[in-house]
């Protein structure tokens, strides 16, 4: 019997609808090629939802996301939204918090025909804690984590918990067991002695339970420099929210381009595929955006579902999409415009879809 997949598709803002459409081309090709049933429903978020209902993230979105097997989330322009009290919620942050998507998995991998920017090939994964840290919408139970007691004083609260640190460490070691069996913890405990000290204490405890996996630690400033020098020695990198956000963009750009950077937000029960980049409103509607990041993110979602279900169809579909992306990007005429090619958004999606069917 065919596998059954029910997804919630959220187009988002800016280039979101365009790259989502291209990604769905690829997903439908994978459905046909690898033999799983695909059903998806769409819902408005972002500015489209705000115009209709006065909020960028309607309440029913979260229940629909819980009922779906997975979510495809287009980029959002949350920096331009009105204040929360006027309906300006960040859909990405709200989904991560309300669905408890504690792990943001961001691979950075060199692709054939597209040389890395710093010499040596890159093949690492950054496992970023996704629900705590300095992020103002994730560090407080009520109200934002940034506040101003006086007009001349701004404060920010950082949240680091034992539970959050332990489970993100467990996710990193589980991933390393499937790769090259090495974990690097990135921190700033020499300055943030209490919060990063707790994070490191938890990671070390998890490392002690996995003696077969190599473990090391790096300061965040040193790690940023080491990635530029040579990213080759790193396999799985685990770190807190803000450090992981910054390092993953750096690693992806070193590997080739942020436009190629896939990303999966995952928890115990739910997962959201989301491009690593933003909504690029300056090129919205021009059909020139690169959909590679979201296509790769959907491949990660299929792999996550395939592993949870023990379903080889979905696992093979994930590998097939990744292989198709590699083949298209390796061709001189197979790149989107941001990578020096000539393919429009929909044409790139069609090219990758065609490669998936030839798998």
Would you give the distance in Å from CA 165 to the centre of its chain? 19
> Is 346 a catalytic site residue?
no
- Whether 245 sits among the annotated catalytic residues: the reply is yes
Whether 249 is a known active-site residue: answer yes
Catalytic residue among 100, 137, 249, 311: 249
Is 13 an annotated catalytic residue? no
Instruction: Say which of 81, 102, 159, 188 is annotated catalytic.
Output: 188
Catalytic residue among 37, 39, 60, 221: 221
Phi, psi of 227 (to 5 degrees): -60, -40
The reply to whether 81 belongs to the active site is no
In whole angstroms, give the CA distance from residue 139 to residue 131. 8
Catalytic residues: 135, 188, 221, 245, 249
């Amino acid at each position: 019997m065919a596998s059954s997949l029910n997804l919630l598709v959220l187009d988002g803002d800016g280039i979101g609808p365009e790259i989502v459409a291209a990604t769905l081309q690829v997903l439908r090709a994978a459905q046909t090629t690898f033999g799983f049933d695909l059903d998806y429903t769409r819902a408005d978020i972002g500015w489209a939802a705000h115009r209709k209902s006065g909020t960028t993230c309607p309440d029913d979105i979260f229940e629909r996301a819980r009922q779906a097997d997975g979510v495809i989330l287009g980029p959002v322009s949350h920096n331009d939204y009105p204040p929360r009290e006027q309906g300006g919620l960040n859909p990405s942050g709200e989904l991560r918090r309300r669905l408890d998507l504690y792990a943001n998995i961001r691979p950075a991998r060199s692709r054939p025909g597209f040389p890395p920017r710093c010499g040596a090939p890159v093949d690492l994964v950054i496992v970023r804690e996704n629900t705590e840290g300095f992020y103002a919408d994730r560090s407080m139970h009520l109200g934002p984590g940034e506040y101003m007691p006086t007009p001349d004083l701004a404060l920010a609260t950082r949240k680091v918990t034992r539970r959050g640190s332990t489970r993100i460490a467990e996710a990193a070691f589980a991933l390393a067991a499937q790769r090259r069996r090495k974990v690097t913890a990135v921190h700033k405990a020499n300055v943030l002695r209490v919060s990063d000290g707790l994070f490191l204490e938890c990671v070390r405890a998890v490392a002690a339970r996995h003696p077969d996996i190599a473990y090391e630690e790096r300061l965040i400033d040193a790690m940023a420099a080491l990635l530029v020098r040579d990213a080759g020695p790193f396999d799985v990198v685990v770190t807190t929210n803000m450090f992981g956000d910054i390092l993953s963009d750096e690693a992806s750009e070193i590997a080739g381009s942020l436009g190629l950077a896939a990303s999966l937000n995952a928890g115990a029960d739910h997962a959201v595929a989301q491009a690593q980049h933003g909504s690029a409103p300056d090129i919205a509607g021009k059909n020139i955006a690169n959909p590679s990041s979201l296509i790769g993110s959907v491949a990660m979602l299929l792999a996550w579902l395939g592993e949870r279900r023990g379903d080889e169809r979905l696992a093979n579909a994930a590998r097939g999409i990744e292989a198709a992306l590699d083949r298209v990007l390796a061709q001189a005429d197979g790149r989107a415009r941001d990578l020096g090619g000539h393919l429009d958004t929909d044409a790139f999606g069609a090219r990758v879809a065609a490669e998936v069917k030839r798998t």
